[in-house]
Amino acid sequence: MKASIARQPKNKEPGEKRRSPQGKSGIWGQRLLTAILWVAIWEGAYLLIGRDVYFPSPLSVIQNFFNLIIDKAAWSTIGSSVYRTLFALAVSALLGIFLGIACGLNSTLHDIVNPLMVILKSTPVVSVIIIAMIWFRSTDVPIFAGVLMCLPIIFTGTVAGIRNTDPKLIEMCRFYRVKRSDMLRSLYFRSSVPYINASVMSSIGICWKAVAAAEVLSMPKYSVGAHLYFAKTALDPAMLFAWTLIIILLSYVFETLYAKVSGYDKT
């Protein structure tokens, strides 16, 4: 079985070219120019509006950002939010993959579970947060919200991967009477891995949004969302933008790390 579906080594196509170091430096140069362009647009909007209370300057946001980076208390806050996000992602991935494989292999079970996933995908995150505030402690509300927002995405991706397994390989396994457990591990799961990776990548940013929104409303003691709320009440948009920048960077770092570990091609 393993020999029959093992991946063959990829031969390099005649027209395929290996990316040169100059090409990589050119890409990074292009990204740097793009970043400079958007910062210039940001500065132009700031000068046009002319009021810090409505729209902060890039310089003030960067200053607040580095002040947070060197603040030990800020790192405790960031660590707590990172824990909630990673925990919510882990639970979503485990439940989504397990249910997705089961429902992908069993149409009856899929017909039972899928309506719930459709409802979860359509439910506004604010409604989920408010309900969770009734049921759970403030520290658990962001985790619950993150799970409910990410679970349907990973579930749908896993089901799609299972159902797109090559039917010829399935027929071959049945012909040779391969064990069900071997088919599940070596065929179905391996076929669904690209779909799972894509759905997890999509879920990372969504989970950060859901966790941050839940923290704003539930106000746990140590949370980035609570500091977003404090910055809003203090009419300090520069600090608000700085905390938002931290969330964006953390989301990007998580996506990059997951892509490296899983071999997922972000491009």
What does the pLDDT look like over 131-146, one tens digit per residue? Answer: 888 998 888 999 999 9
124 lies in a domain?
A: yes
59 in a structural domain: no
Q: CA-CA distance, 175 to 169, in Å (whole number)?
A: 10
Q: Is residue 218 part of a domain?
A: yes
207 within some domain: yes
- The whole-angstrom separation of Cα 97 and Cα 92 is 8
Q: Based on the number of CB atoms within 10 Å of its own CB, is 50 exposed (0-12), middle (13-18) or buried (19 or more)?
A: exposed
- How high does pLDDT run on average in the chain? 84
Residue 148 in any domain: the answer is yes
The yes-or-no verdict on residue 5 having pLDDT over 70 is no
C-alpha 94/C-alpha 87 separation (Å) is 11
**In CATH, what number is assigned to the domain containing residue 233?**
1.10.3720.10
263 within some domain: yes
Contact 100, 158 (CB under 8 A): yes
- Residue 58 within a domain: no
Is residue 17's pLDDT more than 70? no
**pLDDT over 90 at 93, yes or no:** yes
Count CB-CB contacts under 10 A for residue 157: 24
Q: What is the pLDDT of residue 176?
A: 72
Residue 262 CB partners (closer than 8 Å, separation 6+):
197, 200
User: Contact 96/108 with Cβ under 8 angstroms?
Assistant: no
Q: How far apart are CA 243 and CA 245, in angstroms?
A: 5
pLDDT, tens only, 60-83 = 999 999 999 998 888 999 999 999
Evaluate if pTM is beyond 0.75. Answer: yes
Domain that holds residue 192: 84-267
Q: How many domains does the chain have?
A: 1
Residue 63 lies in a domain: no
Cβ–Cβ < 8 Å for 100, 114: no
Q: Scanning the structure block, which residue is given the tokens 């938002």?
A: 244
Q: What is the pLDDT of residue 22?
A: 57
